[in-house]
């Protein structure tokens, strides 16, 4: 059967059903899951469905990403949730200690689970979409709900038994898989966002789907993106800044526009005629990315997908275990070069290379039809639990 006809037929089948109401539960630490939630909200609203509410789990009063506050269209509420994301540059002992200290907040997390339950009941939603939020997973795992839950995120690809992850951190990878399995307890299905087509793992209820990119990125039109002569980069931590500065010292003829998140820093700091440090701003970051010759990133899933969609060669300097997994999968898909140690000498030859990511762009452009079809298939009710029992 013709592939285009198949996805168009799937799209029509979904839209012939009456509109559905969705409730989002989003893990709010970092940029990835907020961006994925926004992208899916755009798709659902565009197809006549309703996102009744977005619940965001946060471990602190740190503000949500600016683009999320700017572009979200549905009501947003937040609740206290443990931060399960590994911190770049921190030891595994530090992460274990942080997880242990989270036990002290269990009463607060139970209250958050009660809050999630009440919002699900009051929303009268047809389906809950969980973007890697652990408390939603625990709620559905121990107290099954009548409203089905679907989990969405790139981390669910790590549970796919059809995919081999050659990561030199087996204990960290096992722990990451354990944390990921907690977030999807009791779910009807997991949608694993992947940079390329790989087999599904129905034994683990994992369907592989294309990445979710916001319309803001897709409207940049990668085939028309300009190619400047400068290096674009995001600096996540100090040990990533140093090698880039050393590279600039050896090759001052190569212009560099680097982005960072530093409190009270000025918007743009001109170090010299060819080195500029910018305070991270979503719009400027994407505009410079669209115009650059080559990019350097930390291996965050959104950065990898945005860079590949815009057809740029890039170097990945991963920090935590999630970024290492993302970097490995991107490199396997021909999407990037993983930095070895702290050297950025590959910038010299990659800067003059041409990359082709047409297959990735085609894969991303199928995301709307494929994900809508996957959501349509989830309509099996479960026995409900009530906190009032």
Helix (H) or strand (E) holding 302: helix 301-309
Q: Is residue 160 predicted with pLDDT exceeding 90?
A: no
DSSP structure class, residue 291: H
Q: Residue 253 and residue 72: Cα distance in Å, rounded?
A: 41
On whether residue 387 sits in a domain, the answer given is no
- Quick check: helix, strand or coil at residue 130? strand
Residue 156, classed as helix, strand or coil, is helix
Same domain, 253 and 208: no
Look at residue 383 and tell me whether its pLDDT is greater than 50: no
| Domain encompassing residue 269 | 218-364
Asked whether residue 10 is domain-assigned, the answer is yes
Domain for residue 248, yes or no?
yes
**CA-wise closest residue to 77 among 55, 109, 92:** 55
Output the domain CATH number for residue 324: 3.40.50.2000
* Res. 320: pLDDT tops 70: yes
Residue 235 domain-assigned (yes or no): yes
pLDDT digits (tens, 9 = 90+) for 261-300: 777 777 888 888 888 888 888 888 998 998 888 888 888 8
Number of domains in the chain: 2
Average pLDDT over residues 359-366: 91
Is position 88 within any domain? yes
- How far is residue 228 from each of residues 246, 312, 349, 365, measured CA to CA in Å? 22, 11, 16, 26
The DSSP line for 8-69 is: HHHHHHHHHSPP-EEEEEEE-SSSHHHHHHHHHHHHHHHTT-EEEEEEEEESSSPPPPHHHH
237 and 203 in one domain?
no
Let me know if residue 388 belongs to a domain.
no
Q: Are residues 119 and 159 in the same domain?
A: yes
pLDDT at 351 (0 to 100): 55
* Statement to judge: residues 275 and 145 lie in one domain: no
Q: Is residue 378 pLDDT above 80, yes or no?
A: yes
Least confident of 114-118, 337-341, 349-353, 385-389: 385-389
Is 316 a member of any domain? yes
Question: What is the band of 382 on the pLDDT scale with cuts at 50, 70, 90?
Answer: very low
Residues 69 and 208 in one domain: yes
* pLDDT for 282: 85
Return the pLDDT at 353.
57
Sign of CA dihedral 368, 39, 319, 254: positive
Closest by CA to 29, choosing from 73, 88, 72, 90, is 88
- Report the candidate in 377, 344, 383, 329 with the shortest Cα–Cα distance to residue 17: 377
Same domain, 158 and 51: yes
Q: Are residues 237 and 96 in the same domain?
A: no
Q: Can you list the pairs that 170-179 forms with residues at least 24 positions away whose Cβ atoms lie under 8 Å?
A: 171/92, 172/86, 172/92, 172/321, 173/321, 173/325, 175/321, 176/86, 176/321, 176/322, 176/325, 179/84, 179/134
Q: Are residues 325 and 337 in the same domain?
A: yes
Is residue 130 domain-shared with residue 225, that is, in the same domain?
A: no
pLDDT value of position 118: 94
| pLDDT the model gives residue 337 | 78
CA dihedral 333, 339, 344, 348 (to 10 degrees): -30
For the stretch 18-76, pLDDT in tens is 789 999 999 988 788 999 999 999 999 999 999 999 999 987 767 788 888 888 999 99
Same domain, 236 and 327: yes
CATH number at residue 175: 3.40.50
Per-residue pLDDT tens over the stretch 194-243: 999 988 988 888 999 999 999 888 888 655 455 678 888 887 665 667 77
**Two structure tokens written together for 385:** 């639990």
Is the model's pLDDT at 5 over the cut of 60?
no
Q: Percentage of the chain with pLDDT > 90? A: 35
pLDDT band at 368 (very low <50, low <70, confident <90, very high): very high
Question: Mean pLDDT over residues 112-141, rounded?
Answer: 94
Residues 157 and 228 in one domain: no
**From CA 104, how far away is CA 69, in angstroms rounded?**
30
Q: Are residues 370 and 317 in the same domain?
A: no
Region of poorest pLDDT, from 31-35, 315-319, 326-330: 315-319
Query: Average pLDDT for residues 298-316, to the nearest whole number?
Result: 89
Query: Quick one: 124 exposed, middle or buried, by C-beta within 10 A (0-12, 13-18, 19+)?
Result: exposed
- The answer to whether residue 389 sits within a structural domain is no
- Tokens linked to 236: 């996540």
Strands 268-272 and 275-279: antiparallel
Is pLDDT of 254 > 60? yes
Predicted confidence at residue 239, as pLDDT, reads 61
pLDDT mean across residues, the chain: 81
Tell me what pLDDT residue 92 has.
Answer: 53
């Amino acid at each position: 059967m013709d592939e285009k006809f198949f996805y168009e037929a799937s799209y029509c089948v979904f839209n012939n059903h009456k509109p559905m109401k969705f409730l989002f539960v989003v893990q709010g630490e970092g940029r990835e899951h907020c961006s994925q939630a926004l992208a899916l909200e755009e798709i659902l609203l565009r197809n006549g469905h309703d996102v009744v509410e977005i619940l965001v789990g946060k471990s602190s009063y740190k503000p949500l990403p600016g683009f999320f506050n700017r572009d979200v269209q549905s009501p947003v509420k937040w609740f206290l949730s443990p931060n399960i994301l590994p911190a770049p540059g921190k030891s595994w002992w530090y992460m274990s200690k942080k997880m242990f200290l989270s036990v002290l907040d269990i009463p607060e997390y139970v209250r958050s689970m009660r809050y999630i339950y009440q919002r699900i009941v009051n929303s009268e939603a047809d389906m809950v979409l969980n973007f890697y939020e652990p408390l939603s997973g625990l709620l559905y795992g121990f107290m099954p709900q009548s409203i089905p839950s679907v989990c969405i995120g790139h981390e669910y690809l790590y549970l796919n038994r059809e995919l081999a992850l050659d990561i030199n951190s087996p204990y960290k990878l096992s722990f990451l898989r354990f944390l990921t399995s907690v977030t999807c307890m009791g779910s009807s299905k997991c949608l694993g966002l992947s940079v390329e087509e790989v087999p599904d793992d129905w034994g683990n209820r994992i369907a592989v789907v294309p990445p979710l990119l916001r319309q803001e990125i897709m409207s940049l039109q990668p085939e028309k993106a300009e190619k400047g002569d400068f290096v674009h980069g995001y600096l996540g931590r100090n040990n990533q800044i140093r090698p880039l500065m050393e590279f600039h010292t050896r090759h001052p003829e190569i212009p560099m526009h680097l982005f960072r998140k530093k409190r009270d820093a000025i918007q743009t700091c001109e170090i010299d005629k060819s080195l500029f440090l910018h305070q991270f701003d979503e719009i400027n970051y994407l505009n410079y990315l669209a115009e650059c010759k080559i990019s350097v990133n930390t291996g965050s899933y959104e950065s990898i997908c945005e860079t590949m969609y815009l057809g740029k060669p890039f170097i990945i300097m991963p920090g935590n275990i999630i970024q290492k997994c993302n970097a490995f999968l991107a490199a396997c898909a021909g999407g990037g070069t993983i930095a070895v140690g702290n050297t950025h000498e590959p910038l010299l030859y990659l800067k003059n290379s041409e990359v082709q990511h047409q297959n990735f762009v085609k894969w991303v452009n199928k995301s709307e039809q494929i994900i809508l079809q996957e959501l349509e298939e989830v309509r099996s009710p479960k026995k409900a639990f009530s906190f009032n029992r």
